[in-house]
Amino acid sequence: MISVAMITYNGLAFLPAQVASILDQLAAQDELVISDDGSTDGTWDFLADLAQKDPRIHLLRNQGRPGIIGNFDHALQHCRGEIIFLSDQDDLWYAGKVARLSEVLSSLPRLWLVQSDAALINADGQVTAQSFYALRHSRPGFWVNFWRNTYQGCTLAFRRELLEIALPLPASLPMHDMWLGLLAELTGQVRFIPDRLTGYRRHDDNQSALTPRSPGQVLAWRIQLGLALTVRCLKRWRTIRKLRRMSHGS
């Protein structure tokens, strides 16, 4: 079973196309878990109507912390699949994305997380850059991604075992995707594949790893991230050891 965790907040402008691009790739037993953070633009009504027609949609109102981290935490808490994808509300999933990432995870049983490349698109869906990887110099590696994150939530998938150490998402995180990526690095094996499987939409209202941050903000985030990782590793060290043994085949 596959779960897609999506969060929404006043995203009606691009949401119908994104939801359609996901549902087209899900089987009858899969699920699209959507946590809404109090939308006021008609997003909730659109999703509620769609959920009545499609049993694969599990629609939730965020009952936890507001904001991206809290909303994703709420969505992930309700995912039941063995393989979990993350989704923004305004991108486009290209045909074959779910099948390709699921294939990679299933064919490499010691792999915890896989990430694919993405093309950047504008509000009209036109491609503005062919490769997110090229823009961010994306590659695996714990310290590489600790200092300059290249994990991108909307392009990755992971095994649900990772949630045993990832949840709950700490409120102090800069972003959820780097938390998942770094924990996967600590736990075992990850893979970056070159396939461009997502149209990553850049527009005036979204937040992105491509948005410049001040040196002070970056330093503060890294301190918070380092502390959160240390605390989580100390609390879940038995689980991390178990997953590492599984990843390395021992």
Tokens in use for 70?
């809290």
- At residue 33, the pLDDT reads 98
- At residue 100, the pLDDT reads 98
pLDDT band at 207 (very low <50, low <70, confident <90, very high): low
Mean pLDDT of 107-124: 93
Is 84 in a helix, a strand, or coil? strand
- At residue 203, the pLDDT reads 74
| 2-247: CATH number | 3.90.550.10
Q: What angle do CA 56, 78, 187 make, to 5 degrees?
A: 115
- Closest to 185 in 3D by CA, of 240, 120, 103, 105: 240
For residue 204, is pLDDT > 80? Answer: no
- Closest to 79 in 3D by CA, of 198, 177, 164: 164
Interaxial angle between packed helices 237-247 and 176-187, expressed in degrees from 0 to 180 and rounded to the nearest 10: 70
Mean pLDDT of 83-111: 95
pTM of the model: 0.92
For residue 250, is pLDDT > 90? Answer: no
Q: Percent of the chain beyond pLDDT 70?
A: 95
